[in-house]
Amino acid sequence: MTSDRVTAASECLLGHWHSNTRLENLSPGLLPQHKQEAYLVQALIEKQSTQPLAAWKLAATSVAGQKHIGVSGPLIGRYIAERVVPSGSVIPFGNNGMKVAEIEFAFRFGDDLPPRTRPYSADEIFEAVASMHPAIEIPDSRFECFETVGEVSLIADNACAHWLCIGAAAPDDWRKLDLAAFAPTGQIRGKKPIFGKGENVLSSPYAAMEWFVNEMSSLGIIAKAGQIVSTGTCLVPMPISPGDHVAGDFGPLGRVEVTLGS
């Protein structure tokens, strides 16, 4: 894609994001030909903020999630600072088409991990992680039927990134725990809790982080100190409606909650 086509594809998707509307598909002239082009389109969302990029997300980190949206593996998305809020916030529901909340493990980097030819090991990655946080993601797509548009369109659409709520840092002993076996719960106020497990995220949040850093490296993108990575839902996405209060309970690792406005 030429720079003009990359810009035009980004402007098309961002226009729908800002107006809370959706489109059926990107036109053939704006459709990225492969994932590298799709990530170039996605990257232009950073120009929507005057602040440094705040966070990254992983989508489709379970086999069920990958089958649901017709992709062969996980996808990466970006969160500008204005779309990352602390626990206890109220965020607008708007014209959200996906209508789900996801409970996730999130990690904040303390050091940069720049691209390199040699893969990063799990130990190197977790030495670079400064803290772990409970998180709630409220995703959305700019496509009418996000399940069928395909991988490059979903990447260009920022992997359905929309709102991310981050809880306080967990106590440091999270590093001693088997997060694959850890079982956070999600709950909509007034409804029964839903139980999840860390192994639902690419077998564990650790494996998800290892995949993320090395995928970023292969794309030539720096994972920067201060940025957060939310590693994907560890339970079945919870249906939401305007006015709902959503909570994620990570037991000794903390709690995160967000209220959905109108």
DSSP string, 134-150: EEEEE---SBTTTTTS-
Residue-range domains of the chain with CATH: 3-110+130-200+226-260 (3.90.850.10)
Percent of the chain with pLDDT over 90: 95
Q: Residues 190-231: pLDDT tens digits?
A: 999 999 999 999 999 999 999 999 999 999 999 999 999 999
CA–CA gap between residue 214 and residue 242 (Å, rounded): 38
pLDDT at 222: 98
Q: What is the mean pLDDT of residues 150-179?
A: 97
The CB-based long-range contact list for 202-207 (8 Å cut-off, 24+ gap) reads 202/58, 202/61, 202/62, 202/74, 202/231, 202/232, 204/178, 204/179, 204/180, 205/105, 205/107, 205/179, 205/180, 205/231, 205/234, 206/122, 206/126, 206/179, 206/180, 207/122
pLDDT at 53: 98
Q: What is the mean pLDDT of residues 176-195?
A: 97
List all residues 6 or more positions away from 109 whose beta carbon is below 8 Å from its beta carbon.
128, 129, 130, 223, 224, 225, 226, 227, 228, 229
pLDDT at 20: 92
Tell me whether strands 228-233 and 185-188 are parallel, antiparallel or unpaired.
unpaired
**pLDDT tier, 65 (very low <50, low <70, confident <90, very high otherwise):** confident
pLDDT at 68: 87
pTM (global) more than 0.75: yes
Secondary structure of the chain: what % helix, strand, coil (to 5)?
A: 30, 25, 40
